[in-house]
């Protein structure tokens, strides 16, 4: 090797070394930061930057908690307990809670309203928290005078709203979460359907862009068809959001049922409203409406969809 060859050779080795070294360094840059060996809580960085994720299993646990209170029939202990529990969960998540008292057909009504600030709501999300006093669709005649446990019919909607209270980003459009009382005792002497939402809609002065009701959305075999009376524009937005998230098998883009539900009083008032309901539920108004029929995946599909739809509303100028 002459001097020139040696120089070329060394230069070549130098370039190779630099290449290998920069690749090695780049692998470090791309790598996730290593977990700290200990968790120094005192210097923990705020977690605000982390986007909140709707936790389906936490929502499912909330279904179980509600059923464990016993039937949530107006005037019962379970009905009192669920209100106290909802209040503490909402307040822990940073919401201000109001109880709206009213009376219909001689029955006291307690709607629970959660707000994050004083702004007028652009979106109202609603679910009924009461349960039906008689399981009159139970296949066993002897069971038809028993109360409905209401895991899907009652608890599932409440669970989705509570988990949304914990995960909805603070920079969303103004949202109210409303937990309606006395929805579910229609066709019983001295009662009617949707008493709580009727009382609420009657007093409502705000003009929200949309009211969205969730009812019976926890069925492990979830089939939510387009409800016929619902506002078509808002309905289409929500179903296409679900499709974008890969939930087209659960949010089926076809009309099927026409419901009288908590969306009805708002529609009657001229407020765009949508009912998200899976009415293909074999345990509807039976003693078998229990938490084992509900899945975390179904609750999450509905929660993720509403979260994304609300945040897309929030980007509209």
Closest approach of Cβ 226 to Zn ion, in Å?
A: 20
Provide CB contacts within 8 A for 193, sequence distance 6+: 183, 184, 185, 186, 187, 260, 261
Scanning 115-123, 136-144, 180-188, 190-198 for contacts with Zn ion by CB under 5 A, the matching segment is 180-188
Scanning 35-43, 181-189, 237-245, 267-275 for contacts with Zn ion by CB under 5 A, the matching segment is 181-189
Q: Which of 62, 184, 261, 289 binds Zn ion (CB under 5 A)?
A: 184
Q: And the tokens for 100? A: 């709206």
Place of tokens 């293909």: 280
Cα 192 to Cα 182: distance, rounded to the nearest angstrom: 8
DSSP code of 52? Answer: P
By CB under 5 A, the count of residues binding Zn ion is 2
Contact 93, 166 (CB under 8 A): yes
Q: And the tokens for 55? A: 């936790």
Burial 74-110 (b: 16+ CB within 10 A, else e): bebebbebbbebbbebbeebebebeebebebeebebb
Closest approach of Cβ 210 to Zn ion, in Å?
A: 23
Closest approach of Cβ 199 to Zn ion, in Å?
A: 18
Nearer to Zn ion, 153 or 181 (CB): 153
Closest approach of Cβ 88 to Zn ion, in Å?
A: 26
CB atoms within 10 A of CB 156: 34
Place of tokens 């179980």: 64
Nearer to Zn ion, 186 or 246 (CB): 186
Scanning 93-101, 171-179, 184-192, 219-227 for contacts with Zn ion by CB under 5 A, the matching segment is 184-192
Nearer to Zn ion, 133 or 204 (CB): 133
Nearer to Zn ion, 185 or 295 (CB): 185
Site track for Zn ion across 139-178, x = CB under 5 A: --------------x-------------------------
Binding site for Zn ion (CB under 5 A): 153, 184
């Amino acid at each position: 090797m002459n001097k020139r060859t040696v120089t070329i050779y060394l230069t070549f080795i130098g370039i190779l070394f630099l290449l290998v070294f920069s690749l090695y360094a780049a692998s470090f840059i791309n790598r996730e930061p290593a977990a700290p060996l200990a968790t120094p809580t005192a210097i923990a960085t705020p977690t605000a930057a982390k986007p909140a994720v709707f936790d389906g299993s936490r929502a499912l646990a909330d279904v179980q908690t509600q059923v464990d209170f016993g039937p949530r029939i107006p005037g019962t202990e379970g009905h009192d307990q669920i209100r106290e529990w909802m209040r503490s969960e909402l307040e822990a998540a940073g919401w201000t809670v109001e109880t709206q008292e009213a009376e219909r057909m001689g029955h006291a009504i307690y709607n629970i309203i959660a707000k994050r600030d004083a702004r007028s709501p652009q979106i109202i999300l609603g679910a009924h928290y009461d349960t039906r006093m008689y399981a009159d669709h139970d296949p066993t005649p002897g069971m038809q005078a028993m109360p409905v446990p209401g895991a899907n019919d009652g608890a599932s909607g409440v669970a989705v709203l509570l988990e949304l209270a914990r995960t909805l980003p603070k920079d969303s459009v103004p949202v109210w979460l409303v937990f309606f009382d006395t929805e579910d005792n229609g066709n019983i002497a001295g009662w009617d359907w949707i008493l709580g939402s009727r009382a609420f809609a009657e007093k409502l002065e705000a003009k929200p862009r949309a009211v969205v009701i969730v009812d019976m959305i926890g069925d492990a075999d979830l089939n939510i068809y387009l409800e016929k009376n619902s506002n078509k524009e808002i309905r289409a937005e929500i179903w296409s959001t679900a499709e974008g998230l890969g939930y087209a098998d659960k949010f089926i883009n076809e009309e099927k049922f026409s419901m009288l539900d908590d969306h009805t009083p708002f529609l009657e008032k001229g407020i765009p409203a949508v009912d998200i309901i899976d009415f293909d539920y074999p345990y509807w108004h039976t003693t078998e409406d229990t938490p084992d029929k509900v899945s975390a995946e179904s609750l999450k599909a509905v929660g993720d969809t509403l979260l994304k739809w609300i945040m897309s509303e929030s980007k509209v100028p």
